[in-house]
Structure 1
Amino acid sequence: METKSSIFHATHGVMTKEVGVISGDLELRTTCSDNGVLTLAITYVGAEEWYTLPGENYHLHDPRDHEVVHRMLTAVLERS
């Protein structure tokens, strides 16, 4: 299992399942299991409570793509 984390600034916000839209300085955490199951979590920088992004059952065909997918997600969420 591999976890990646990135900090970014979301001016317009990111939708979460639990609390709706959050914005500002955020941290994205993606975790990929050995069989490609991908989980996504987001929090305010320095906060302890993590939220989930909408959607479910994320699965990578090849777990080696985790790094690229994580970077793409960070870039897209930062533009939100």
Structure 2
Amino acid sequence: MEEKSTIFTASHGVMTTEVGVISGELELRTTCDDEGTLKLAITYVGAVDWYTLPGEDYRLHNLRDHEVVHRMLATVLKRP
């Protein structure tokens, strides 16, 4: 399983499944297993609890796309 992580500041907030919108200094984590299943999680920097982003059943057809998808998500989530 491959994991990628990016820290960014979200001034506008990011919607989570569990607690609604969170904002501030956040960490995005994406994990991709050998079958292409992609999991998306987010937390406040330094916090213990992780939250999921809305949606389900994310799958990559090519495992090499994990890096690109992670970077795109981080960029979209941090834009004002």
Same fold (TM > 0.5): yes
2:59 and 2:4 map into 1 onto residues whose CA distance is 16
1:29 and 1:21 map into 2 onto residues whose CA distance is 17
Residues 12-31 of structure 1: pairs in structure 2 closer than 5 A = 12-31=12-31
2:60 and 2:43 map into 1 onto residues whose CA distance is 23
TM-score when normalising by structure 2: 0.98
* Superposition misfits of 4+ residues, deviation over 3 angstroms: none
The number of aligned residues is 80
1:49 and 1:29 map into 2 onto residues whose CA distance is 12
Q: CA RMSD in A?
A: 0.7
- 1:42-70 C-alpha deviation (Å, 9 max, x unpaired): 00000000000000000001011000000
2:68 and 2:52 map into 1 onto residues whose CA distance is 20
1:34 and 1:72 map into 2 onto residues whose CA distance is 21
The 3-state SS of whatever aligns with 1:69 is helix
Number of the residue aligned with 1:42: 42
TM-score when normalising by structure 1: 0.98
Gapped regions of structure 1 (runs ≥ 5):
none
Number of the residue aligned with 1:63: 63
2:9 and 2:61 map into 1 onto residues whose CA distance is 29
Percent identity between matched residues is: 75
Number of the residue aligned with 1:5: 5
Shift of 1:3: 0.3
